[in-house]
Structure formats: structure tokens, C-alpha cells
Structure 1
Amino acid sequence: MAYVPAPGYQPTYNPTLPYNKPIPGGLRVGMSVYIQGVAGEHMKRFSVNFVAGPHAGADIALHFNPRFDGWDKVVFNSQQGGKWGSEEKKRSMPFRKGAAFELVFMVLAEHYKVVVNGNPFYQFGHRLPLQMVTHLQVDGDLELQSINFIGGNPPPGQGPGYTHQQPSQLPISGKTMEGPPIFNPPVPFRKNLQGGLTARRTIIIKGSISPMGKSFVINFMVGSSGDLALHINPRLTEGLVVRNSYLNGSWGSEDKKISFNPFGPGQFFDLSIRCGLDRFKVYANGQHLFDFSHRLLAFQNVDVLEIKGDITLSYVQV
């Protein structure tokens, strides 16, 4: 069963290093680049480069370079004509050896805004025109879990740290998705699904589980009745991912079988929940996790997404 990404969402899962790939559609204002991975146990340094071309020696618009060298710091720079510019350094280290992380580069009109694990870290002013940047390079002492290129040209003020929304429509197989995405929303999270849950609609949820987290829930709800067409409940202390429905005041039978469990304390996750004609299809980090046959046949009546529990959300798109 093929993974179908939502529109405006360009994921690559478990890429190998060194990573050197084109940026879909090129770099543009409003785009966010999400990098999820795990820092090496013996990390010394890694780098992320926004590059004007795939070849060696190409100009680098942004060189992001954390260094564990006894004077832990993150170095920012650019390279033009084979020559490095002046270094900008931040003498603090937001990465921990052996720990999972989420690194976001938000492309704004004046600068790159860098966010690590949901916390704004640095702003690096543009030295090269954005339109020159065609490729992203990642290499060093880390393991990559996913790279996602999200959006471009959203309303002003969108990006990590903002939750303001403006109406926008994105096509998906003849249907539409409400947009733009919501960055770093608070938990508990509740969002109306404009137009109800139509077939082929895809919901994207990215976040991290609290280090001492025990459980969280994702509910697809009929707001007027409280019925739950799909209740997803990862129970970390039991190692389970329970799925169920709640209809007419009663819980249904639990589904528990999964081929793998992507949820663990302190871990980041990337969920894609797609509504089909006869079932929900759920993918975690690009891998099929489970299907859930519709028990509420009139699934179009689902008009609320609810998320609560021991997690931090970094991105939701409905």
C-alpha cells in the first residue's frame, strides 16, 4: 500500500548520508525545512548546507555546523566563489549526543530562522539570493529519520512559533485541504475540520513525546454528538497503540495489532492519516502502521480533530 503524501508536503524518510538532493520547486520565502534525526553517540560535528547546485564547490547560501569540540558551538557561514565568508557563532549547543532532535529552517524574507526542538535558536541573514539555492546537503555524525520540505509563500507571519491562520485551499486528488499548516500549536489541541472528513483527505501530525510520557490520544470526532470515528491511543508504558471507536455512548472493540511501534518516550513522530472510502490508512514516518475500517459509515460527519496527552506538537495540517 503506497504512502501518499499530502499536497505541499514533500517528505523523504530514512535518507542515507551524505544527503545531497534537490529542493522541490527550489527554495522560496515561506518554505520550512524539517530535519528529524538522532545525534551520534560520539558526535563531533555535522552540517546542513543550502547550496546553489549539486556539484562540489558550489556556492553555499547557508552553512549550519554544530561542533562538539570542547568549546561547544554552532557555526553559521556562507561560501561564494570557493571562499568562506565571515563566521557567525552561537556558543550554545541545542543538540545532545545520542538524543533525537527536530531541526527546522524557516525561510523568511530577510533571514533563515532556525528552530531546534521547538525553540527559536538563531537568525542568519541572507547573503545569497534565495533563487540561487537548488539543493540541500546534510552530512556528519548523525542518523537521519526524515527530511520534509513544507509549503512556500504562506501568509506573512507563518512559521514555527506562530499559530495564526488564514484560509487557503490546497488541491488533493480533486478534493481540498484546509490550510495553511499550524506550527507549534499548544496541547490539548482542537481544530474544526472545515467541510467534514471527505474521502482522500489527509491529516499530517508531527510532534514529540515527552521524556516521561505515558500516553496520548488523537480523536476524529463528530462535534455535535461526541462520537469518535477513530480514537488512536499510544500507551507508552504498555508498548501498545490502541485504536477504537466511540459510538452512541459505547466503546467498540479495540484494535492493537501493529507491525512496528514508532512511539517512545522522548521520540519524534510523523503521522499521516488518510481517510479512504472504507477505512482510515495511517502511516508513521512514511511506513504503513495500520488500517482502521470505518465503523461510523457517515464519516463525513466527522468535523473535529482533537489531540491531547503527553506530547508536544510541532506541525499539524488538516
Structure 2
Amino acid sequence: MAFVPAPGYQPAYNPSLPYVAPVMGGLWPGMAVYVQGLVLPHANKFWVNLANGPGEGDDLALHLNPRFGGEGQAVLNSRCGGQWGQEQRRDLQPFLPGTPFEIVITVTPHAYRVLVNGSHFDEFLHRLPAEQVTAVTVDGDLELHSVTILGAGVSPPFCSPQDVPQTIPYLQSNLPVMGQPPTLHPPVPFVATIPGGLIPKKTIVVKGFIPPDADRFHVNLRAGAGGDVLLHFNPRLSEGVVVRNSLLGGAWGAEELDLPHNPFQRGRYFDLSIRCGNHRFKVFAEGQPLCHFSHRLPPGPHVDTLEVDGDVILSYVHF
């Protein structure tokens, strides 16, 4: 049961350094780049580049470079034709040696917006066309846990018709496209309508952080507001279990608890993918198979509501 990403969702987990991720079709407004990792305890510097190629000398549309040591600043810059542009500098907070971080770079028509740990960090106006970015590169003094390109390989969602290329290639897949931009750092409780509902092979992605004092949280796939819950996915941190169940006709079914491992731990990020199959939900964590949950009622377009609530901080939700 290997996890195959749906077009528009391009993740990598625990890649080695230096890391280079291709960007299918370039970057466009509405897309985002997510980087999650840990600053090494004795870090000097690390960097995240949005590059016009995979080579060391290629142009850089954005160079995000936290520098520890004597400088104690984060630098944002660009490089064109071998020449660096004017630096933007700001305080390193919230980057701290020995601590985890997440960076989200969202593409707007005029700039890159950089969020760190869910808060605004800086904005960098476009100096090079974002659609010419073909790679995300990461290296330096960090443990790299995940890199995700959200919106890659699908039609740009917020571009005017004259700006949209005729074709944007992506790896061949029979999975439905992730059809809208990710919802970044939404508040909890979170409720959203799934366009078209849970059709076969539809993928739901929930990425977030579990606070150190968390008790439990849940993800529900529901048939409309207040309707049946076809899947109730419920990590219970105090009990050390992950409960799967359904709520049909107002009655809870039998709980399912068995797992090969429990990836949901206090003080850690998680990456949860739920794919709707013909006969069961297939659940993945960090791109690895976690469990199945057989359908107790048939899914379909009527199952159109995603709910997330409890002791969790959401990084993004994507479907």
C-alpha cells in the first residue's frame, strides 16, 4: 500500500541533504512551499532556495538564510546572473538552535509571504518571475523532516487566463487532482466543505503540531453538517492509542485500535493523509501506511464535510 501523492501535492519525508525538489510547471499564485525540520544545536546557518534550476550557480528567486553564530540574523535575497541583490535582514526569532521549525512560503502575484511556526515572518517582493522556479533546494545545519510543494503540476488557481500556461506537466496519475490551494494555519475547530465530496481516490491531507500538553484531537469525514460520520480518526495522547470509528444514525460503532506504530506524539509535527478507496479508507502518516478503515456506509458526493477539533495546531489542510 505505497502512498502515491495526488497531483498538486508533492511531499518528501526525511530526505537527505543537500535536498533538491523539482517544481512541476513553476510557481504560481496560490501555491505554497512547506519546509519542516529541526535546527541543529550548534548550527551556523542553513538555507531554503527557490531556484531556477538544481545547480549551485543557478538563479535564485528567493534565498532564505537563517544565520546563527555572530550575525544572529535571517537574510532574504535573490541572485540573478551570478550577482546577489540587496539583502533583507531581520531578527532570527523564532529560529532557535536545537528546536523544531516550520516554514511556509506562499506565492502571491507580487511577493513571497514567509510564515515561520504559523506567524508572519517577512515578505519578499518578486525580483525574478516565480513561474521560472523549477527547484526547491535545502541545505545547511538542520535535520530536514519534510518538504512539500502544494499546488504543483495543476492549473494555477489564482492566475488570470492570459498568465496561465497552455499545459503544466505532472507525473502520470489516475488520482483526482488536489483541486484547490491549501488552507494554511486555520484555527481549530476547523470545518470545511470538500468540493465534490468523497469520490473514489480522493485524498485529504492534514498537517499539524501536537502541543506538549495535548490530550486528544480528531478528524471527522461527515455527510453534511450534523450528518453521519463515516470516519472518526481520534488520536488520544493520554491513552497512547488512535481510535477509528463511525457515527451512523446517531450511534457509535465498534472502535478499531490496532496499529503497527503510533506516529502521534506530544510535542511533534504530524502529516496525515486519508484516501477514499472503493471499499475502505486508506490512512497514511508521513507517507507510510498506517491503517485501513472499511466503509460501514458507502461514501460519495454526499460525504462532503471535513472537521478537525481538539488539542492540535494545524499547519495546513489540503484536498
Report the equivalent of 1:187.
188
222 and 52 in structure 1: CA distance in 2 versus 1, 3 angstrom threshold: closer
1:42 is matched with 42
Could you tell me which residue of structure 2 aligns to residue 261 of structure 1?
A: 262
Equivalent in the alignment of 1:162: none
CA 1:146–1:82 in 2, change beyond 3 Å: closer, same or farther?
A: same
The residue number in structure 1 matching 2:90 is 90
Encode CA deviations 1:128-150: one digit per residue, 9 max, x unaligned. 23344322211011111211111
Give percent identity, aligned residues only: 51
Aligned to 2:204: 203
**CA distance, structure 2, for counterparts of residue 296 and residue 173 of structure 1:** 24
CA gap 1:102/1:224 in 2 versus in 1, 3 angstroms? closer
3-state SS of paired residue (1:179): coil
3-state SS of the aligned residue for 1:104? strand
Q: Does structure 1 conserve the Cα–Cα contact (< 8 Å) formed by 2:191 and 2:307?
A: yes
Q: Find the partner of 2:158 among 150, 155, 158.
A: 155
1:307-318 maps to which residues of 2 (within 5 A)?
A: 307-318=308-319
Indicate the residue corresponding to 2:164 in structure 1. none
- Alpha-carbon distance, 1:283 to partner: 0.8
Tell me how far apart the structure 1 counterparts of residues 52 and 121 of structure 2 sit (CA, whole Å): 24
Q: Deviations over 1:252-275 (max 9, x none)?
A: 222122222222223222211111
Contact in 1 for aligned 2:221/2:306 (Cα 8 Å)? yes
Measured after TM superposition, the shift of residue 19 of structure 1 is 0.7
Change in Cα spacing, 1:79 to 1:176, as seen in structure 2 (3 Å) is closer
| SS at 2:257 equivalent | coil
Cα deviation code 1:3-27 (max 9, x no counterpart): 1222311112221100123222223
Structure 1, 80-89 or 293-302: larger mean CA deviation: 293-302
Larger mean Cα displacement after TM superposition, 268-277 or 252-261: 252-261
Structure 1 position 121, deviation (Å): 0.4
Report SS of the residue matched to 1:256: coil
Alignment of 1:290-309 (within 5 A): 290-297=291-298, 301-309=302-310
Deviation digits for residues 277-313 of structure 1, max 9, x if unmatched?
Answer: 1100011111111111112245654332211001122
Unpaired runs of 5+ in structure 2?
160-172
- With normalisation by structure 1, the TM-score equals 0.87
Q: State the Cα RMSD in Å.
A: 2.4
Asked if the contact 1:71–1:91 (Cα under 8 Å) also holds between the matched residues in 2, the reply is no
- Following TM superposition, the consecutive aligned residue runs of length 4 or more in structure 1 with deviations greater than 6 angstroms are none
**Structure 1: gaps of 5 or more residues:** 157-171
> Which letter does structure 1 place at the counterpart of 2:45?
R
